[in-house]
Amino acid sequence: MLKLYVQTTEAFKRLRADQEGVVSFEYIIVAACIIGAVAAAFGTGATGAIGTALSGGIAAIVTKFNAAV
């Protein structure tokens, strides 16, 4: 039983000192924040403010192009 306790304690010490796992977890958090920001800006289905502005701008360009041609 003591051997198992020592092995478990050593495993936790190695896990606490492992910096690569922490960096990977930080990347996951940053990616989730970026996805949230993009979803907030564009909305789902291009109904957000930026999506609406882009759709309106493209429609204006197409109208002007068709009038010129």
Q: In sequence order, what DSSP letters do the residues of 24-47 get, joined into one string?
A: HHHHHHHHHHHHHHHHHHH-TTS-
CB 20 within 8 A of CB 26: no
The contacts found for 10-17 with CB under 8 angstroms, 24 or more apart, are none
Q: Distance (Å, rounded) from C-alpha 3 to C-alpha 13?
A: 15
Mean pLDDT of the chain: 78
For residue 68, count CB atoms less than 10 angstroms from its CB and return exposed for 0-12, middle for 13-18, buried for 19 or more.
exposed
pLDDT of residue 52: 79
Residue range 48-63: average pLDDT?
A: 83
pLDDT at 22: 61
